[in-house]
Structure 1
Amino acid sequence: MRSDLHKAMLLLALPCLIFLAFFLVPLGVVLLSSLMAEGWQGASLQHYARILLDQYHWDVILVTFRIALFTTLICLLLGYPLAWFLVRVLRSSLWRRIFVIALVVPLFTSNIVRSFGWMIMLGRNGQVNDTLRALGLIDTPIRFIGTETGILIGMVYILLPFVVLAVGTSLSQMNRGLEYASSDLGASPFRTFLHVTLPLSLPGLASGAIMVFALAVSAYVTPALLSGGRVTVLSMLIYQQYSTVFNFNYGGALSIVLLVLTLALVALANRAGHVRGG
């Protein structure tokens, strides 16, 4: 028994050390730097006061979380039907594999490359405006670059596969007998979906939403490239402080504020889901 315990502890030692070295220690360094005054001259909360008492920072926070929230909602609205199509509509396993590969392959491409692609497509003379003009929907080009709409388009394209894969896994593992039982008891397909299928797929929906929101709220490359310098999010401010201004104390405070606000919103959403489910 003691030998098995020692083996288990040895197996856990390496993951714990990696977690400590590559997560807790860097996070501790960022937290410590955020609590130091300029020039590392003693402890201070001046950076947090600067962030929380300045309207500019609150505007940036609002833009950051608004983009992340809308990205999450759009990914959920588009991802659930697509996951349903892959799992419930496609009967051929070959075509299902093809669609899944087409969905996953872009994940192996750098976000920089994909964002540059969207910069070309969303430009004034890009394919999107050309298509809209050809269909007679617009007379003059729409400005996408430098707007929140352009950032949303790029973010949804990059993060949509996470929702599709999470919901698709949940749907594929669902007990179809419960749906058949609901139909046998006289429920319509819509009522069966609303009262049986949707609640059973909520874990996959929730996990996909959390992944998308966490990735969207901390994204840097896509907002930086598609913003055109006109829209600023927190990750861009953090990058600027670390790479350009070299103000690690202020940058650390911005990072901790982003982390705390993100965790708070995820916790509230998780609690709301438990309360509703209960």
Structure 2
Amino acid sequence: MPRNASTILKLIALPLLFFSVFFLVPLGVVLVSSLLDKSSAQPSLINYISILADGYHWEVILTTFRLGLSTTAICLLLAYPLAWYLVRIVRSSAWRRLCIIILILPLFTSNIVRSFGWMVMLGRTGMVNDILRSLGLIERPVRFIGTELGILIGLVYILLPFAVLSIGTALSRMDKSLERASQDLGATSGQTFFHVTLPLSLPGVASGAIMVFALAVSAYVTPALLSGGKVTVLSMLIYQQYSTVFNFNYGGALSIVLLALTLTLVGIANHLGRVRGER
């Protein structure tokens, strides 16, 4: 074996071993468990049939992915202007670093703590309702806790930094000479943005969208706390099967369904983006 090939193999051996032990093996265990009938311990598709034939599960699945898609869309709409401000408008490196620190600082705090904070702020006597009343926008408190809106607010707050950092990285690596060339050829600022800047930043937008969507549909703490027991998502059902019902086979099937649906939607999005890029 050539020395270069041997060196490369040694370098990737440890990451491959780590990936296999801590991802592929647990995933395989969950998959095998999902294909076993709890009562007979025999191979069976009964768990998947029960999930797909139950209207309640489909309602939970739709709720989960509706929240995931809504969170992704809102995060992207908020993240692009924030990333643009940090990369293109801020001139002071010290101020930019401070803004980035403020942006990522919540990531060092537990999701549980942040979710409890939102429970206080979104309560009937919380800060959000107080502000809305003081502005004359509402006459009586709005119920956020126990609604999809409350969960959506919490998820957007927690996942927004991932989208901002991803889009900001794409914008910072962009060749600005292409934008100057577009303007030199007579394009307006708006035309340059929509025909040059935005298409070139789409890889950052896509990676940010994938991260936010994957984290949103698999989130447990935020939906569990902000739902008030009135909204159920797939991660909550999975947790119940493992910790309360102790039906590991059914919980494994729910996990595989969540993973399969997530990968399917991400794959469709990647395919559509590739087709659009080829055009």
Residue 261 of structure 1 is matched in structure 2 by 261
- Alignment match, 1:148: 148
Distance 2:262 2:67 in 1: 13
Correspondences of 1:44-123 after superposition (within 5 Å) = 44-123=44-123
Deviation at 1:6, TM superposition (A): 3.0
| Cross-structure match for 1:130 | 130
Instruction: Work out the number of aligned pairs and report it.
Output: 278
Instruction: Give the unaligned 5+ runs of structure 2.
Output: none
Kindly, what percent of the aligned residue pairs are identical?
A: 71
State how far apart, in whole Å, the 2-side matches of 1:276 and 1:118 are.
39
TM-score in terms of structure 2 length: 0.98
Amino acid at match of 1:270: N
Distance in 2 (alpha carbons) for counterparts of 1:164 and 1:56: 35
Q: CA deviation at 1:10?
A: 2.4
What SS is found at the alignment partner of 1:38?
Answer: coil
**Superposition map of 1:112-261 within 5 A:** 112-261=112-261
Question: How far does the alpha carbon of each residue in 1:5-39 deviate from its partner, in whole angstroms, 9 at most, with x for none?
Answer: 33332222211111111000100000000000013
Does 8-17 or 107-116 show the bigger shift? 8-17
Q: Distance in 2 between matches of 1:269 and 1:163?
A: 16
- Structure 1 residue 66: Cα displacement: 0.1
Deviations 1:200-255 (A, max 9, x none): 00000000000000000100000000000000000000000001111000000000
Q: In the aligned structure 2, how far is the partner of 1:76 from the partner of 1:4?
A: 42
Separation in structure 2 between the aligned mates of residue 207 and residue 33 of structure 1, nearest angstrom: 32
- Please, what TM-score do these two structures have when normalized by structure 1? 0.98
SS at match of 1:60: helix
Question: 3-state DSSP class of the match of 1:164?
Answer: helix
Note the alpha carbon deviations across 1:72-108, whole angstroms, 9 max, x for none. 0000000000100111111111111110000011111
Equivalent-residue separation in structure 2 for 1:221 and 1:42 (angstroms): 34
Mapped to 2, the partners of 1:8 and 1:197 lie a distance apart of: 37
Q: Write the letter of the residue equivalent to 2:187.
A: A
In the TM superposition, residue 117 of structure 1 has moved relative to its aligned partner by 0.3
Distance 1:119 1:72 in 2: 21
Shift of 1:40: 5.0
1:135 Cα deviation after fit: 1.1
SS of 1:98's equivalent in the other structure is: helix
Post-superposition offset of 1:3: 3.9
CA distance in 2, matches of 1:178, 1:7: 39
Code of the residue aligned with 2:174 in structure 1: it is M
Which SS does the other structure have where 1:167 is aligned? helix
Taking the aligned partners of 2:51 and 2:199, their CA distance within structure 1 comes to 40
Q: Secondary structure at the match of 1:216?
A: helix
Q: Bigger CA drift: 221-230 or 6-15? A: 6-15
Q: How far did 1:41 drift? A: 2.1
Q: C-alpha separation between the residues in 2 aligned to 1:115 and 1:9?
A: 44
What residue identity is the alignment partner of 2:88?
Answer: R
Q: How does 1:24-35 map to 2 (within 5 A)?
A: 24-35=24-35
Deviating more after overlay: 256-265 vs 86-95: 86-95
> What is the distance in 2 between the residues matched to 1:140 and 1:112?
28
Q: CA deviation at 1:4?
A: 3.9
C-alpha distance in 2 between matches for 1:15 and 1:245:
36
Give the Å deviation of 1:136: 1.1
Structure 1: unaligned runs, 5 residues or longer: none
Looking at structure 2, the residues matched to 5 and 187 of structure 1 have their Cα atoms a distance apart, in angstroms, of 49
